Amino acid sequence: MPQGPLVYSQKLLTRITHWVWAVSLFFLMLSGLQIFNAHPSLHIGQEVGFAYDNAILQIGAQQKGEALRGVTRVLGVEFDTTGVLGVSNGEARAIPAALTIPSYQSLATGRVIHFFFAWALVGALTLWLVVSGLNGHMRQLIPTLADLKALPQDIADHARLLFHHTGEYGVLQKLAYASVLFVALPLMILTGLSMSPGFNAAAPWLLDLFQGRQTARTIHFLTMLALIGFFAVHMAMILLAGPFNALRSITTGWYRTDEAPHD
Amino acid sequence: MIDRRQFLLGGAALALSGCKVFDGAGASDSALRKLFASHEGLTQSAQRALIGDRLAPEFSETDIRQGMRPNGSTDPASRDYRGLAANGFHDYRLTVTGLVDRPQSLSLTDLTALPPRTQITRHDCVEGWSCIAKWQGAPLGTVLTLAGPKPTARYVVFHCFDAIERSLSGEVFYYESIDLIDAFHPQTILAYAMNGAALPVANGAPLRLRVERQLGYKMAKYVHTIALTDSLASLGYGKGSYWADRGYEWYAGI
C-alpha cells in the first residue's frame, strides 16, 4: 500500500492514560476474579438469598462418585465445567489459578491489589475526562451525523477487513472507544463503589440506581466480561489493521496514514 | 527500552503461565505488598471525607426475608463461655476498662436498661455476600459515656470469647478495634437482640458489635471486654484486629 505522511494523532495525555488503563484493567480483572472466588456466585437484589434463590450464576464443585466435578449453574441451567470452572488441576476453586492474582487463594491480597489499581483507573479516567473535555479531544470520540450516515459503509468495510488509515477515528472506532470510556468504565467504578458499605452511607442513591448491592456486584461482573469482549475485538482490529502503526501511535503519538487519493 | 512486540508477547506469556509472577504480593513484608497496600490510607481518608456522620442505609421489615447468616466462629468452646451460656448468660458481665475515668462491669440487665436503638441493616461480608437483619442494642456511645473516656483515648478495642485460631502458642481469641469516630456513630451498637429475639449463639450471643458502615469482620461477636487505648501497637501483631493482622484492611469501609 502506498504510504502517506506520518501524522501526530495521539496526544501525550491520551497515550499515558491509555497505558495506565491497560495495566490497571489487567490487574483489576485478575485480582477481581480472586475476590470473586471468595463467593463465586452472582445474585439479584440487596442481599444473597440463602433461604431462597436469587442467584443467576453459581460456580461450585460436587463430589460425583470418585470424581470431583466442577459445576456451573447459569440461570438455573447446570453445565459440567470440570477442568476450567469449579474444579481445575484437581482442586475445588471457581476460577482457575491461571486467571487470578495471586495464583493461590488469598482474598486479602486480591483486595489490596484491586483497590490499588482501582485508584489508578479512577485517577487516569478523571484526568482524561477533564482534560480532553476542555481541549476538545473528547468530541473526536462522539459520532457526528455524518459518521452515523457512514455507519453502514464502515461496517461493510470492516467485514471485508478493509481499513482506512486516515489518522481520524472511523464511526465504529468512535462507538467502541466511547462506550468503554463513557459507559463501561464509569459503570465499573459506580457499581464497585455501590458494594462499599461506607460509600453506601455517602451515596445511598447508587443502591437505588442499581437496585441493590448484589445486583451492583452482578453488573460489575458482567461489565468486566464486556470489557474482555472489547479487548478481544481491540486486539483483533489492531492485528488486522497494522499492529506496528497502531502501537507506534499509542506509544509515540505518530501514525502513518494511507497515501491521499489523487483526484 | 523493551521492544513492543516483546512487550506484547511477554504480556501474553504472563497471562498464559498463570499469575504466579505476582504471588510475592501475598507476603506481608514484601515491597510489592507495601506498594499495593499504600492505597489504604487514601481509601480511608476519602471515605471518611465523603461519609461524614451519615447513616448506613436502613431497610424495612419486609426486606427481612431469611435468618441471619452466621459466619466465622459460631459456637465458642471456652469453658468460661460454656458456663455463661448454660445459665442463659445470667452471670455475663461486660467489662469496660482502659483509658476511662469510671471502669464499668455491666450485666445484660444493665445494658437492656439503657435506651436501645433498633435498626434493620445489610450485613456485608468481605467475601462478597450480604444479608439483611434487624438488630437491637445499646448504643456504644452511651456505654462509653458511662465509663468516661479519658482525653488520651483514641481506639476502642473489643476482646471476645471465641478462639478463632489454635496455634502452637495457644488459642488466639478474636479481637477488633474501631476509632472514636465510629464508636460514637449513632448506628454503632452493642446488639443483644436480632430479628426480634435474643441474640442467638451462632450470631454472637450475648453481645456483639454492629458497625454498619464497615464490613462484617469489624463486628466482633461474643464481646466480653471493651478497652479504650491510645495505641494499637501492643494488640496482636499491631494492626488492630485479628483480620488486619492477616492482611485485611483495618478500616473496612470497602
Q: What is the pLDDT of residues B135-160, one digit of tens each?
A: 999 999 999 999 999 999 999 999 99
* DSSP β-ladder status, B104-106 and B223-229: unpaired
**B145 and B201 in a common domain:** yes
Contact criterion met (CB below 8 Å) for B216 and B208? no
Dihedral pair phi/psi, residue A88, rounded to 5°: -140, 140
Residue B18: the pLDDT is: 52
Q: Does the distance separating the beta carbons of A100 and B129 come in below 8 Å?
A: no
Q: Does the distance separating the beta carbons of B25 and A115 come in below 8 Å?
A: no
Give the class (CATH, top level) of A3-37+106-258.
mainly alpha
**B62 and B36 in a common domain:** no
Does the CB of B10 have a partner CB in chain A at under 8 Å?
Answer: no
Encode chain A in three state secondary structure: CCEEEEEECCCHHHHHHHHHHHHHHHHHHHHHHHHHCCCCEEECCCCCCCCCCCEEEEEEEEEECCEEEEEEEECCEEEECCCCCEEECCEEECCCHHHCCCCCCCHHHHHHHHHHHHHHHHHHHHHHHHHHHHHCHHHHHCCCHHHHHCHHHHHHHHHCCCCCCCCCCCHHHHHHHHHHHHHHHHHHHHHHHHCCHHHHHHCHHHHHHHCCHHHHHHHHHHHHHHHHHHHHHHHHHHHHHCHHHHHHHHHHCEEEEECCCCC
Looking at residue A186, its amino acid is: P
Of A220, A218, A193, whose CA–CA distance to B51 is shortest?
A193
Expressed as residue numbers, the domain containing B169 is 57-246
Q: What is the dihedral of CA A99, A102, A107, A112, to 10 degrees?
A: -110
- Average model confidence (pLDDT) across chain B: 92
**Spatial separation of the C-alpha atoms in residues A194 and A218, rounded to whole Å:** 11
For A97, name the nearest residue in chain B, comparing CA atoms only: B18
Of A35, A89, A87, A33, whose CA–CA distance to A59 is shortest?
A87
Nearest-by-Cβ selection for A115 from B4, B18, B254: B254
**B105 and B222 in a common domain:** yes
Stretch B208-228: mean pLDDT = 98
Dihedral pair phi/psi, residue B167, rounded to 5°: -110, 180
Check whether B1 has a pLDDT greater than 50.
no
Q: Looking up cell 456485608, which residue turns up?
A: B124
Length in residues, chain A: 263
Domain holding B197: CATH number? 3.90.420.10
Does residue B160 lie within any of the structural domains?
yes
Of A249, A174, A257, whose CA–CA distance to A10 is shortest?
A249
Q: Which three cell numbers stand for residue B230?
A: 491510645
**B203 and B89 in a common domain:** yes
Does residue B8 lie within any of the structural domains?
no
Tell me how close the Cα of B85 comes to any Cα of chain A, in angstroms: 27
Residues 6+ apart with CB under 8 A from A168: A140
**B39 and B76 in a common domain:** no
**B83 and B168 in a common domain:** yes
**B101 and B32 in a common domain:** no
Residue B2: the pLDDT is: 46
Length in residues, chain B: 254
Please state, in angstroms and as integers, the Cα–Cα distance from residue B55 to each residue in A196, A197, B52, B114, B190, following that order. Answer: 13, 10, 9, 21, 17
**Spatial separation of the C-alpha atoms in residues A160 and B72, rounded to whole Å:** 58
**B141 and B42 in a common domain:** no
Please state, in angstroms and as integers, the Cα–Cα distance from residue A65 to each residue in A68, A69, A71, B59, B111, following that order. Answer: 8, 10, 14, 44, 53
**Spatial separation of the C-alpha atoms in residues B85 and B205, rounded to whole Å:** 8
**Spatial separation of the C-alpha atoms in residues A200 and A206, rounded to whole Å:** 7
Tell me how close the Cα of B93 comes to any Cα of chain A, in angstroms: 31
For A195, name the nearest residue in chain B, comparing CA atoms only: B254
**B218 and B112 in a common domain:** yes
**B113 and B37 in a common domain:** no
Does residue B90 lie within any of the structural domains?
yes
Residue from B47, B129, B210, B248 whose CB has the most chain A CBs within 10 Å, to mutate:
B129
**Spatial separation of the C-alpha atoms in residues A28 and B19, rounded to whole Å:** 13
Of B227, B202, B247, B252, whose CA–CA distance to B30 is shortest?
B247
Q: What is the pLDDT of residues B90-137, one digit of tens each?
A: 999 999 999 999 999 999 999 999 999 999 999 999 999 999 999 999
* Counted domains in chain B: 2
**B138 and B36 in a common domain:** no
Per-residue pLDDT of chain A (263 residues; tens, 9 = 90+): 567 888 887 889 999 999 999 999 999 999 999 999 999 999 999 999 999 999 999 999 999 888 999 999 999 999 999 999 999 999 999 999 999 999 999 999 999 999 999 999 999 999 999 999 998 888 889 999 999 999 999 999 999 988 888 888 899 999 999 999 999 999 999 999 999 999 999 999 999 999 999 999 999 999 999 999 999 999 999 999 889 999 998 989 899 988 765 55
b/e map of A50-69 (b: 16 or more CB within 10 Å)? eeeebbbbbbbbeeeeeeeb
Residue from B130, B179, B211, B250 whose CB has the most chain A CBs within 10 Å, to mutate:
B130
Q: How many of the other CB atoms lie within 10 Å of CB of A258? A: 14
**B188 and B205 in a common domain:** yes
In this structure, what DSSP letter does residue B11 have?
A: H
Does residue B70 lie within any of the structural domains?
yes
Alpha helices, DSSP H, located in chain B: 4-16, 31-36, 39-51, 79-86, 108-113, 140-147, 180-183
Which value does ipTM take for this structure? 0.92
**Spatial separation of the C-alpha atoms in residues B179 and B219, rounded to whole Å:** 13
